[in-house]
Structures are given as C-alpha cells and as structure tokens.
Structure 1
Amino acid sequence: MQASAWPNPELFVDAENFAGSKEYRGTNNIELTAGLSQRIEIGGKRQARIDAAEAGLTLATHDRTADQLALRDEVAKAYIGALYAARLVALEDDRLKNAQSLAGAIRERVQNGRESPVQSRKTDITLAAAQVASQKAQRELQGSRAALTALLGVPNVTLALNSGWFDRIGDVPDVSPNEAALAENPDFARLNATIAQARAGVDRERAAGVPDPTLRAGMRRYNEDGGNALVVGLSIPIPVFDQNSGNILRARQDLNRAEAEADAMRLTLLGNLARARQTLLAAHSEAEAMGKTIIPAADEAAAAAREGYSAGKFGFLDLLDAQRTQFDVKAQHATALRDYHLARIELMRLVGRTY
C-alpha cells in the first residue's frame, strides 16, 4: 500500500524585490509567487518499490505458513508425548498389579514352606521398584498433559487413550528426497521469494539513480501595477556527484548473498528430507517388528514361565526374568511407536504438510 503511493506535491511561496536599496526599499515593489511543485518519478521507481513490497509480502506469507505449520507440529508432538506417557502409566500399572499378585502368591508359598523366605524378600524389592516406576510414570503424564494444555491454551485436555491411533503405524508416506517433494515446504518456497526480493532491491536502487524532474507552476503577483502572471518551471538534478552507485553495488551484493544462502539452504533441506525419510523407515521397521514378532514371543515366554513355575519346572528367578522381559519389551514397543510418530511428523513438516 505504501509502495504504490505517489510523491506528495509541495506548496511554495516566493517573495522578490523587497528590503533592498533605492526603489526596492520596503515592500512597495514586492512580487509574490505562489504555486505547487511536483516531483515526477521516472526510471521505474514506483514499480520497483511495488515489486520489492510484493516480494516482501510473499515472504511474509511463507513465514506465516511456516509458523502455522510449526505450531501444528508442536501440538502433534505434545499430543504424542502425552499418549506415550499414558501408555507407560498403563504398563507400569500392569507391572505393579503383577508384582502385587506375585508378592501375595510368594508369601503364601513361603508360609506353606514351598519357597525360601529369601524369595519373599525379592518380591518385596520388585514390588517397591514397581511402585516407584508407577509414580514416576504418573508424574511424567501430568507434565505431558500440562505441556499440551499450554500449547492449546485450554485449562485441561482429555486424551483419547482407547482410540487405537497410537498403535497404528500404517505405510510410510511415499516421499522422494528431491526438490519436487519440497514444493509445499514454506521454508523452501521462501528461497525463491528471498531472491526475488533481493533482485527487486537491485532494480529499486538502479531506478533511484535516475534523476527525477520537478515541475513547478504558480501565479505571480506584481505589486507595481497589481497585475498577475502565470509562472512555470522545470528542474532536473544533474547526476554528477551522486549516481547511487554505492547503493546499487550493495544491492547487487545482497542479491549474491541471497542466492548463495538459498543454494545452501536448498542443500540443507534436501539433506534433512533424506535423513528424515531414513529415520522414519527405520522407526517403522522397528515398531512393526516389535509389534508382530517380539511382543508375541515375550508374551508366550512369560505365559510358559508362569505355567512352568506353577508346575515346579522353573525357578522363581526364571519367572521374574520372563515377566520383566515381557514388560520391558512392551515399554520398548511404546517407545518405538512414539519414535515412529515423531519421525512421521518431521517428514511431513519437511514436505509442508501436517501428520
């Protein structure tokens, strides 16, 4: 809006032939001239300003899009962090319940003389550790909820813990690590806008080196006979000492710097895209392998250990180890799911999309 504005006209008043000598003493022969002067921009100055302003507006639009995308990513990451903390709370609660059940069963076996009192002490230690872990998980969940509510600007949030969304990983998005995939990335889009703004700055400084004529028009009042006459004038600066060469050179160097920085940022974004894609593929493979193979195997081993312990085929330490492995694997699976979702967010951000 400001770049398209024309220069303001100037009001001028000239007084001549007064306060001199002889017949020009006093104001008897004073001549007054009043009128307007208008600087006329030439050399494309106005259009150059408009082009530079439009380039700045394009940059501001990309920056706004980038800020919106970053906020969505922060909310998504906070939401995933809250779901992950809630999953750990559920796992630690199950671990605590199992430890309580096991401690009761061991005490009964110790009273019946079927187990050594040492085993009861071990179960007490396991129970105490499970209680500490459960309390820690609760505190982490509260912190995750607080972070999410702060981002959303609401007093409290309700997590959809049973939707199954956290466990669904689906297929890895088909994203190729090339510039075409970065087309919707606002950081990538602003590279060309930055160069366009710098190029518009060069054009603006070049146009500023072209002198603008000033047109003057007014009415002169002759005091001798009370007559009036029209006065017209035209002035043109002579670019002898100042041709705006320094500003033109600086604008050209700004353009060179913008082009170099754009090339460097383009390579950085391509590298980040390739790395994010590989990270997501690795996280997908890990989460899928743990969900389909490792967790079922750990569940089977824990079930077999419980049956074997009841039948007297396995010792108490074997049972504890199998159960500990089962819960640890489930916790690792939750971590793998979290890492997958976070990696997907990062990849989608680089291609200018949300999760």
Structure 2
Amino acid sequence: MRITLSVLLLALPLAAWAQTPQTRLNAGTLRASEPTAPLTLNAALNLALGANPELSAAGRELEALDATITQAHVRPNPEFSALIEDTRRATRTTTLQLNQPIELGGKRGARIEAAERGRDAASLELDAKRAEIRAAVTAAFFDVLVAQERSRLAQASVELAQRATAAAARRVTAGKVSPVEETRARVAEAGARVELATATSELTTARRRLAATWANPSPRFERAEGDPEALPPLPALAHLNARLAASPSLLRAKIEVERRQALAKVERSRRVPDLTLSLGAKRDEERGLNQAIFGVSIPIPVFDRNQGNLLEALRRTDKAQDQLSADGIRLFNELAVAYERLSTARQETASLRQDVLPGAQSALDAATRGFELGKFSFLDVLDAQRTLFQARAQSLRALAEAHRSAAEIERILGDTRPAPAAVQP
C-alpha cells in the first residue's frame, strides 16, 4: 500500500473577499482635487497624470509583472512521501522519502529573463500611456482655450449686431432708409445669437472632454487660463526623426521582440528533462533493520520534446520582428503627417493674423462709420461683419489644429517632459 502525502498551504485573503463589489470599486476609484479657480495647463496635466484611470491601470500591470519576476526566481518545491508495506506490525516495512526536482537546461534563468522582459515592456507601456495622456490633456486644454475665445468673439459679434440693429432702427425712424434695412439687421443679429449658442455648446463640450482626462464627469474649474493666441513651436523635422528611435512606442516593440526571444529560450530549455533526487530511510520491522535510500529519476524525452511549443515561440518571435518593422514605418509616417499639419496650421494662422484679420477689421470699422453717417448701406456693414467673423473663426480653427498637431507629435515621440511654452509666430 502506497500513501503519498502532499502538504499544500493555501492562504485565502478572506477579509478582501468579504468586501462587497461596490466597496472594492470605491477603494480603487481615483479622485481628483479639481480647483474651482482658473485652470492652467500644468495644473491640468498634474490632475490627469495623478487621477487618470487608464494610467493607473498601466501602473497596476507593471506592479503585477514585478510579482511575476518574484515567482520566476522560485525553485521547485520538494516532495515528501511515505510508503507502508503490509498492515501487520510484525512484518511491516515503512519507507520515508524526500524527493527534490532539479531544473536542468537553464530553465530558471530563461524564466527570469522572460519575466524581466515582460516587466520592461509594461514599463514602456506605462511611459507610452503617460505620453498619450499628456497629449490628450494638452489638446483638450487648448480646445477649451480656443472655444473660450470663440465664445468671446461670438458675444462681441452679437453686441456688434445689436448696435447695427439700433443704428438701422434710428435711420428707419428718421426716414433715411427702408424698413428692409432694419429687417436685415435683425436677421443678422439672430444669426449672431445662433453662432453664440453654438460656440457656448462647443465650450461646454470642450470643458467636459478636458475634465474627463482626470475622470471627472462634471468640470468644476472656472475657465482655462492661458494665451489662446500663442502658437506651439515648430522644431526641425530631422530632430524629431532622430528622437523617434527613443519613443516608448518603438522601444516597446523592440522589447517585445526580446521578450519573445526570451520565451523561445524558455521553451527550448524545457526540452531538457528535469532531474529528481530522492533521499530517505526504510524500516524493516521483521528484520529490525534501518536502511538508507538514495535515488535518481529522469524522464526520457521520446515522444514529447516540447517541439510544438518551441515552434510556436519561434514563429511568434518572427511576428514580433515584423511588427517592429511595421510600427517603425507607421510611426515615421504619423510623425511626418503631424509635422506637416503643424507647419500648415502655423502658416495659415500667421497669414490670417498679418494680412486677413487687420484688413477685415479695418473694412468693418469703415463700413460701420459710413453706415452711421449714411454713406453706406447696411448690406455693406453686414458683409464686412460676416467677413471678419469668418476670418476670426478660420484663425481659431487653424490655431486649434496647430495645438492638436503639436500634441500628436508629443504623443508619437512619447515626450514626458514639461510642455514647451507656446510662442508667437
């Protein structure tokens, strides 16, 4: 009769399981202390980097992979066995034996290396996620700034339309123009109010999008504080391409190749069977003898040589290398596209500010004064007003596109440094 005793110690965290799902959820919920005062870009970045749930999840994954390295260092447990032959005490033979598996073929070292490469990949994933959050916050922050400016311009347009309506009403009362002029003025004022409502709605959406980066569904900050007219800098494309090789996204793909190579090494080491050493004692009651027992056992790899798992690991290594090449090409193209968009947006903004906006403002001022003096019709004022508003709206769109492109470049390069100060063109 053979009796094998296996001692397993199971430690169950009962206190953790006693919590309700809602309690565990509340314990892991990140809360951001969002100020009600005006919000700066640095404050928004600090809020998002400290309370973004996606960033927290990436950090938890890194902590989990630290634990896998700890487990990879662990050696196999010994096994204790007891063997009793014959149930009669006088003729009974009792054998006590301790078996210790010995890993061969470099299994432990390969296992540790694979776990470390996995942790390196998770660390770069955290860096990439941090850069992604920074880029999203930067783009959302400047969207709020631009939306605030557009709302201000829309409010100014409404005030201008109100003055034009009042002037048209006075001229109609004096009998200088047809009542049709006043009707046109009121229609233009209604259009300006619609534009103001649209700008207000876009501002609300932009504020919510920014607050969502730090997991706040309802923004509390009063307004975004910054220079909405400032443009992001335009570094040399060659300099950006040189930095691309050190981006977390590309480094992560390189580490994935190394991790797959390490996993292939693990599967290759498993082709070597492990050795089991046995040490024990045997008691023969009938003869009254105690005997020492020494033993060695090793599997014979006749059928299972781990050939399938090794082939799979090698093919996945090839896949990781192909993915590295594809990621390099994709990131290079994305960087070139974002750079071109930034350059175009800067040129468009500069052209509008230097040539279009001053001329449109001057034309509106002249048309307004001429209309009040009776030299121009209201249609001239309306056209000048519409031209100025369209030019300002186009300038704001170009400015927002510039900041979004700069944020995209920051995301691609994985830049986790403080955001560079925007400069005037």
Sort the TM-score into its range (normalised by shorter chain).
over 0.9
Structure 1 residues 229-263: Cα deviation after superposition (integer angstroms, max 9, x where no partner): 21110112111111111111111111111111111
Larger mean CA deviation between 144-153 and 7-16 belongs to: 144-153
Task: Give the structure 2 partner of residue 70 of structure 1.
Answer: 132
Unaligned runs of 5+ in 2: 1-69, 420-425
Task: Give the structure 2 partner of residue 46 of structure 1.
Answer: 108
Structure 1 residues 208-240: Cα deviation after superposition (integer angstroms, max 9, x where no partner): 000111000011111124321211101121111
Structure 1 residues 156-191: Cα deviation after superposition (integer angstroms, max 9, x where no partner): 013244x42x21115312342876321342111101
Cα gap change, 1:179 to 1:283, in 2 (>3 Å): closer
Unaligned runs of 5+ in 1: 20-25
AA partner of residue 277 (structure 1): Y
AA partner of residue 8 (structure 1): N
Alignment: residue pair count:
346
Alignment TM-score, normalising by the size of structure 1: 0.92
Larger mean CA deviation between 68-77 and 34-43 belongs to: 68-77
AA partner of residue 404 (structure 2): L
Measure the CA separation in 2 of the matches of 1:339 and 1:348.
Answer: 14
Task: Give the structure 1 partner of residue 273 of structure 2.
Answer: 211
Work out which of the residue numbers 148, 154, 170 in structure 2 matches 1:92.
Answer: 154
Q: Is the 8 A contact 2:341 2:401 kept in 1?
A: no
Q: CA deviation at 1:311?
A: 4.4
Q: Does 1:263 align with 2:325?
A: yes
Work out which of the residue numbers 185, 196, 213 in structure 1 matches 2:258.
Answer: 196
User: Structure 1 segments of 4 or more deviating over 4 A?
Assistant: none
Larger mean CA deviation between 56-65 and 66-75 belongs to: 66-75
Cα gap change, 1:206 to 1:170, in 2 (>3 Å): closer
Identity %: 35
Work out which of the residue numbers 300, 322, 325 in structure 1 matches 2:387.
Answer: 325
Task: Give the structure 1 partner of residue 201 of structure 2.
Answer: 139
Q: Is the 8 A contact 1:7 1:39 kept in 2?
A: yes
Work out which of the residue numbers 220, 223, 229 in structure 2 matches 1:159.
Answer: 223
Work out which of the residue numbers 302, 321, 331 in structure 1 matches 2:364.
Answer: 302
What secondary structure, in the 3-state scheme, does the structure 2 residue paired with 1:12 have? strand
Cα gap change, 1:179 to 1:193, in 2 (>3 Å): farther
Q: Is the 8 A contact 1:80 1:338 kept in 2?
A: yes
Q: Is the 8 A contact 1:178 1:270 kept in 2?
A: no
Measure the CA separation in 1 of the matches of 2:340 and 2:208.
Answer: 32
AA partner of residue 323 (structure 2): E
Task: Give the structure 2 partner of residue 58 of structure 1.
Answer: 120
Q: Does 1:278 align with 2:340?
A: yes
Q: Is the 8 A contact 2:363 2:384 kept in 1?
A: yes
AA partner of residue 365 (structure 2): A
Q: Is the 8 A contact 2:151 2:196 kept in 1?
A: yes
- Rg larger in 1 or in 2? 1
